[in-house]
């Protein structure tokens, strides 16, 4: 601070001194507010989940946890079907991630790298899959799922969730691949790669951060989706759909436990792929 003071012209010195600290103050308050916005509700949900029956109703609420115990959590997990639903949710979300990347990324790559007839129509079509309300499709879907044998399976649910996540996956990966100069691939070809090898060795590592973001999005879409999951399953519910059914008739601290369990996997998943969200090699060369 002293150095910047001595360098600045005398009249402008106070302002030059004020500005950075004011800006820093804004930055930090912004950060704190944002963190609070996200973390405080999660914290209270966790308090409710672990605080037991009495903790939930105590007033005024204490910020600090008292008589914490995992017992309510365990009780909740022991409720008939919760564990099964949790597994179903993981399967459906996992498959949704796999399908949306496997189908969406090649579509995005094609949109980014090739010019073909009907390209714009195709792009529109990709978005149009979101134009039909699920509610209208629900009945025919249920009927045909029953017919094909997909009804009441997490696999069937993941197919519908893939449809929901796919437009996003295709369009995000398109701009992702457009941001990777074609010359990198061309250099790889010249130095002995097939198209596929060049994709795996050069494009994929560069695309990883964006693919991770796409994966997170697909995971969260599937994890939080209730409507399709409720309609297309009876016994093999996903957690979200199952909780919706049972929580309305459960005591409050169970609801908190359910909410907490709903939040945690998404957070963990984001945490797991966070490394890929930030380019580790600082792609500054364009």
Partner 1 sequence: MADIVIDHVVKDFGTFQALQDVSLVVEDGEFVALLGPSGCGKTTLLRIIAGLETQTAGRVVIGGRDVSGLTPRKRGLAMVFQNYAVFPHMTVFENVAFGLRMQKASTADVKRKVERAAALLHIDSYLDRYPAKLSGGQRQRVAVARALAVEPAVLLMDEPLSNLDALLRLEMRTELKAVLREAGTTTIYVTHDQTEAMGLADRIAVMYGGKIEQIGSPLEIYATPATRFVGGFIGSPPMNFIKVRCEQGIVRIGNITLPCPAGCEDMELGLRGEDAMIAADGSGIPFDVRVVEPMGSHLLLTGSINGQLARIVAPPTATINAGERVALKADPSRLTWIDSNTGRAVGRA
Q: Nearest distance from residue 120's CB to partner 1, in Å?
A: 18
Integer Cα distance of 24 and 17 in angstroms = 12
Site membership for partner 1, residue 114 (CB under 8 A): no
**CB atoms < 10 A from the CB of 272, how many?**
12
If binding is defined by CB under 8 A, does position 200 make contact with partner 1? Answer: no
- Take residue 18 and report the two structure tokens written for it: 């004020």
Among 27, 205, 275, 277, binds partner 1 (CB under 8 A): 205
Q: Which of 59, 191, 196, 278 binds partner 1 (CB under 8 A)?
A: 191
**Is residue 188 close enough to count as binding partner 1 by CB under 8 A?**
yes
Q: Which stretch in 15-23, 54-62, 188-196, 235-243 sits in contact with partner 1 by CB under 8 A? A: 188-196
Query: Two tokens at 93?
Result: 């979300």
Q: Does 115 bind partner 1 (CB under 8 A)?
A: no
| 3-state DSSP percent of the chain in helix, strand and coil, to 5 | 75, 0, 25
Q: How far is the CB of 194 from partner 1 (least distance, A)?
A: 7
Nearer to partner 1, 32 or 283 (CB): 283
**Secondary structure (DSSP) of 148-202:** HT-TT-HHHHHHHHHHHHHHHHHHHHHHHHHTS-HHHHHHHHHTT--HHHHIIII
Q: Give the integer Cα–Cα distance in Å for 122 and 118.
A: 6
From 67, 189, 226, 252, residue interacting with partner 1 (rule: CB under 8 A): 189
Nearer to partner 1, 59 or 114 (CB): 114
DSSP 244-266: HHHHTTS-HHHHHHHHHHHHHHH
186 near partner 1, judged by CB under 8 A: yes
**Member of 86, 95, 206, 218 binding partner 1 (CB under 8 A):** 206
Considering the complex, what minimum distance in angstroms separates the CB of residue 30 from partner 1? 28
My answer on whether omega of the bond before 208 falls inside 30° of 0, hence cis, is no
Please report whether residue 281 would count as binding partner 1 according to CB under 8 A: yes
Distance CA 85, CA 82 (A): 5
Q: Which of 1, 148, 234, 284 binds partner 1 (CB under 8 A)?
A: 284
User: By the criterion CB under 8 A, which residues form the site for partner 1?
Assistant: 181, 183-184, 186-194, 197, 202, 205-206, 281-285
């Amino acid at each position: 601070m002293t150095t910047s003071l001595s360098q600045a012209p005398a009249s402008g010195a106070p302002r030059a001194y004020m500005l950075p600290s004011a800006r820093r103050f804004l930055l930090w308050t912004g950060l704190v507010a944002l963190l609070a916005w996200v973390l405080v509700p999660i914290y209270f949900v966790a308090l409710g989940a672990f605080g037991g029956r009495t903790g939930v109703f105590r007033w005024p609420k204490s910020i600090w946890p008292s008589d914490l115990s995992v017992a309510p959590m365990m009780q909740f997990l022991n409720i008939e079907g919760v564990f099964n639903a949790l597994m179903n949710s993981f399967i459906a979300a996992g498959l949704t991630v796999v399908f949306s990347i496997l189908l969406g990324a090649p579509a995005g790559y094609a949109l980014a790298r090739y010019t073909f007839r009907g390209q714009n129509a195709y792009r529109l079509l990709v978005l149009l899959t979101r134009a039909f309300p699920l509610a209208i499709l629900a009945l025919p879907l249920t009927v045909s799922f029953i017919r094909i044998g997909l009804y009441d399976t997490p696999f069937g649910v993941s197919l519908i969730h893939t449809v929901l996540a796919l437009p996003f996956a295709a369009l995000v990966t398109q701009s992702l691949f457009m941001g990777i100069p074609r010359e990198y691939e061309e250099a790889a070809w010249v130095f002995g790669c097939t198209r596929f090898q060049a994709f795996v060795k050069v494009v994929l590592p560069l695309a990883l951060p964006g693919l991770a973001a796409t994966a997170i999005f697909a995971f969260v879409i599937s994890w939080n989706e209730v409507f399709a999951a409720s309609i297309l399953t009876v016994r093999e519910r996903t957690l979200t759909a199952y909780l919706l059914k049972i929580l309305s008739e459960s005591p409050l601290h169970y609801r908190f436990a359910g909410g907490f369990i709903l939040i945690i996997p998404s957070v963990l998943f984001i945490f797991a792929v966070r490394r890929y969200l930030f380019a580790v090699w600082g792609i500054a060369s364009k």
